[in-house]
Amino acid sequence: MGRARRWRRALAGAACTVVVAGCGGGGGPAARPSAGPDLTRLPQATTFTTLRGLPQDPAPQAETDGTVVHPATPVEVAARPGGPAVAALPDRQLDGPTWVPVVAARAGWLQVLLPSRPNGVTGWVRDDGRLTVARTSHLVRVDLARRRLTLWESGRRTGAWTVAVGAARTPTPKGRTFLLALLKPARPTFSPLIVPVGTHSETLETFGGGPGTVAFHGWRDASVFGKAVTHGCIRVPGDALTRLSRIPLGTLVLVT
């Protein structure tokens, strides 16, 4: 948690470039031991980690049915249904509850998007009573070519805004991800809220003390909207940021 606190202090007083590479906070509390493997010895599926031996997203541009899950306690993550645990998904991270979207299901197992590197990494978790299963009717879309953010609910478009996206050397990564957390900087800064997602910059390993997490956030100078000028984050107008902050965590974000 020390590294998380250091990063949040840096975020609170730094410029936008910190957000681009560090819109996550901490890795959350260490996983608690449970029956089966010692989860404290496994890599933790947080925004700070790189996970090996897990499958990539099988359909990175597809919508889902909105199913999201929250582990009541840390749970094992396997590379295949019934396989050995290779990572642990904590119940909390970035000082909030962990919610991840379900992208596939198979007889008592759910394949979920994970917030770690590499982008698009997934894992299988048991649907064994330790998961809270819910469904969000929301969908967030980002069209990089048009610099356009659209919000959808129950198949109906509820808002659209022109936004700023990653520059050519630091592009916003494409694919499907999800709303990971909602952060409020401790001091006034370039944005009143930060909404990290489950992907990272593909050109910056770290920046400003953070792990390169991509996020939605505001920006004081409206002249940037419609331009490709960021280090990977998506700068949005104030009303769009407010709307994003009200969407449930785990909601799918499609970046095309």
Predicted pLDDT at 206:
84
Give Cβ neighbours of residue 189 (< 8 Å, ≥ 6 apart): 11, 12, 13, 14
What is the tens place of the pLDDT at every residue in 211-250?
999 999 999 999 999 999 999 999 999 999 999 999 999 9
What is the tens place of the pLDDT at every residue in 54-107?
999 999 999 999 999 999 999 999 999 999 999 999 999 999 999 999 999 999
**In degrees rounded to 5, what are phi and psi of residue 127?**
-95, 75
Known catalytic residues are 217, 233
Going by pLDDT thresholds of 50, 70 and 90, the confidence category of residue 187 is confident
Q: Where are the domains of the chain?
A: 2-25+137-255, 39-135
Is CATH 3.40.30.10 the classification given to domain 2-25+137-255? Answer: no
In the numeric block, the tokens 């407010």 are attached to 242
Instruction: Please tell me the pTM assigned to this model.
Output: 0.87
Predicted pLDDT at 36:
61
What mean pLDDT value characterizes the chain?
A: 88
